[in-house]
Amino acid sequence: MAEIPLDEAMRTLRAVRRLRPDPIPDAVLRRVLDAACQAPTGGNRQPFRIVVVRDHAKLARLATLYAEEWRSYVALHRKMTEGAPEAAREADRRMLASGDHLADHFGELPALLVFCFDPRQMAITDAELDRISVVGGASIYPAVQNALLACRAEGLGCVLTTLLCRREAEVRALLGIPQPWGTAAAIPIGYPAGRGHGPIQRRPPEELAYADAWKTPWRVHDAD
C-alpha cells in the first residue's frame, strides 16, 4: 500500500462523491479489500463479505435504486435543515451537489463495495434492549473504516453510504445474497474527478468527550 502515516490518513479522509469511471487496477483494489479484512470482529469470526460490483448491468440497476433513495433523502433533508444558519447551509449545498453528482453517475462507478453481514455469527449484546440495536455494526464498520482509510492511502475517492439498505430485498435479489445475510453499507470507489481527499472539519474531543460523567467536559490537565 502507498505509505501514508496513520494520522494523516485519518485527518484527510473525505467523503468523495465525484468519482471518475476509470478502472481501478486489481492490485490496488486488493489492498483496499485486504485492509477491510484486517479489522477486528467479535471472536475474530469476520462475519462479513464484500461483494465487489463492477458489472455494468448490475451497477445500472443499483444506480436506479440509489437515485430513488437519494431523491427521497434530499427532500427530507431540505425540510430538516430549512432554518439552519447560513454557514451550515452552504456546506449543505456543497454536500447535496456532490451527492447529486454521485446519484447521477452511480452506474458508471468503476467499483461499488457492498458490505454484507451474517447476524448468526455475531453476539449482538444490545439485541434485547428497548432501543434500536447497533452492536452488530461493531463487527462490520471497523472493516468499512479500514477500507475507507486504505482508499485514502491509494488516492481513491470513496464515501460510506447506507441508502441502499432501504432497498435490501432488491439488492439481495440482484447480487444473490442469501438469507439471513444483510447489507450494511455500499461504498462507491473510484479516482477523484474533483479535489478528492483533503482537510476535514470535525468537532474536537473537548466537545465530544466527557470525564467520568455525562456533560463533564474532558480536558487535558497534565503537561506532557
Q: How far is the CB of 193 from a second copy (least distance, A)?
A: 19
- Pick the binder of a second copy from 18, 52, 74, 108 (CB under 8 A): 52
84 sits near a second copy (criterion: CB under 8 A): no
- Pick the binder of a second copy from 18, 74, 101, 175 (CB under 8 A): 175
CA pair distance 67, 73, nearest whole angstrom? 10
Closest to a second copy by CB, 105 vs 136, is 136
Which H or E run includes 103?
helix 86-105
Q: How far is the CB of 145 from a second copy (least distance, A)?
A: 4
189 sits near a second copy (criterion: CB under 8 A): no
Q: How far is the CB of 189 from a second copy (least distance, A)?
A: 13
Q: How far is the CB of 58 from a second copy (least distance, A)?
A: 6
Given CA atoms 130, 160, 199, 6 in this order, what sign does their dihedral have?
A: positive
CA pair distance 224, 222, nearest whole angstrom? 6
Q: How far is the CB of 93 from a second copy (least distance, A)?
A: 13
What burial letters (b/e) apply to 52-90, b meaning 16+ CB within 10 Å?
ebeeeebbebbbebbbebbeeeeeeeeeeeeeeeeeeee
| Crossing angle of helices 56-80 and 86-105, rounded to 10° | 160
166 sits near a second copy (criterion: CB under 8 A): yes
- Pick the binder of a second copy from 22, 82, 86, 222 (CB under 8 A): 222
Q: How far is the CB of 120 from a second copy (least distance, A)?
A: 11
CB 132 within 8 A of CB 147: no
94 sits near a second copy (criterion: CB under 8 A): no
Site for a second copy in 105-164 (CB under 8 A): 117, 119, 123-129, 131-138, 140-142, 144-146, 148-150, 152-153, 159-160, 162-164
Burial of residue 42, with CB atoms counted within 10 A of its CB: 0-12 exposed, 13-18 middle, 19 or more buried: middle
85 sits near a second copy (criterion: CB under 8 A): no
200 sits near a second copy (criterion: CB under 8 A): yes
Q: Name the phi and psi angles at 184, rounded to 5.
A: -115, -25
67 sits near a second copy (criterion: CB under 8 A): no
